[in-house]
Amino acid sequence: MFPPIVAAVSRVVDPGDIEVLFGSHQDPDIISSLALWLGMCGNSSVYVPAIRTSFVAHFSLGAPIEGIPDEGGVMPLGTSRDLTFVPAHYVHSSANFSLYDPLAKVLFCGDVGAALLPPDQFEVTVTDFDAHTRFMEGFHRRWIPSQGAKDDWIRRVSALDIEMLCPQHGALFEGENVARFLQWFSDLEVGSAV
Ligand SMILES: [Fe+2]
Ligand SMILES: [Fe+2]
């Protein structure tokens, strides 16, 4: 996925100007191209969950890695605005963070809200929430192992002012679909693969 993502990012910002990289967790579809990003972004900082820094060091080419403490915190961006690391442990990785932009009112929620869409049903933003749930259900039941962790994440996220939920796979939730998703996720029984 690296070439098309770099091409898309380059339409908005020069990759050489990127100063901070964030890995919500250590999965290959999140951060296995870290060395390639570091090659393009120069001396950028890398933030990943603290307990995963020793894993990510295997593919960071020796670049220093900032460990995000379990309780979360703030990504300082200096002149523009700070972003918030929202703890999302066990939804799904055992160390995981969502990232909140308080100015744009956007929550980047990683694998939470992910949908496995058939190629012919691709859309950028969810248009029919009820129809969309069938592409999310199996994924969330299998990949979110803990009801308690799920409830904790929903409680944290419900306290934020969110206009757009942006999962890593599938489609984005906008407007009233944000609350719809949180309710759907709250009602879903997860961790049911055994
Ligand atoms: Fe993942
Ligand atoms: Fe993923």
Q: How many domains does the chain have?
A: 2
Q: How far is the CA of 30 from the centre of ligand 1 (A)?
A: 7
| 1 and 78, same domain (yes or no) | no
What is the pLDDT, as a whole number, of residue 60? 87
| Angle, in degrees to the nearest 10, between helices 147-158 and 176-187 | 160
| 62 and 89, same domain (yes or no) | no
| 15 and 85, same domain (yes or no) | no
DSSP structure string for 166-178: EESSS-BEETHHH
Please state, in angstroms and rounded to a whole number, the distance separating the CA atoms of residues 108 and 95: 16
Q: How far is CA 71 from the centre of its chain?
A: 16
Smallest-distance ligand from the CA of 97 = 1
DSSP structure string for 84-138: EEEE-TTSSSSS-EEEEETTTTEEEEETTT-----GGG--SB-S-HHHHGGGTHH
Q: How far is the CA of 185 from the centre of ligand 1 (A)?
A: 17
Tens of pLDDT, residues 6-33? 999 999 999 999 999 999 999 999 999 9
Residue at token pair 């200096």: 78
Domain boundary among 51, 68, 85: 68
| 105 and 183, same domain (yes or no) | yes
| 145 and 88, same domain (yes or no) | yes
| 86 and 132, same domain (yes or no) | yes
Tens of pLDDT, residues 56-107? 999 888 888 999 999 999 998 876 789 999 999 999 999 999 999 999 999 9
Q: How far is the CA of 180 from the centre of ligand 1 (A)?
A: 23
Spatial contact of 21 and 64, defined as CB atoms under 8 Å apart: no
Domain boundary among 68, 84, 115: 68
DSSP-based helix, strand, coil % in the chain, nearest 5: 40, 20, 40
Residue at token pair 């972003």: 83
Q: How far is the CA of 158 from the centre of ligand 1 (A)?
A: 22
| 8 and 58, same domain (yes or no) | yes
| 12 and 62, same domain (yes or no) | yes
| 41 and 23, same domain (yes or no) | yes
Domain assignment of residue 8, given as a range: 1-68
Q: How far is the CA of 143 from the centre of ligand 2 (A)?
A: 10
| 9 and 103, same domain (yes or no) | no
CATH number at residue 175: 3.60.15.10
Domain boundary among 68, 85, 113: 68
Smallest-distance ligand from the CA of 144 = 1
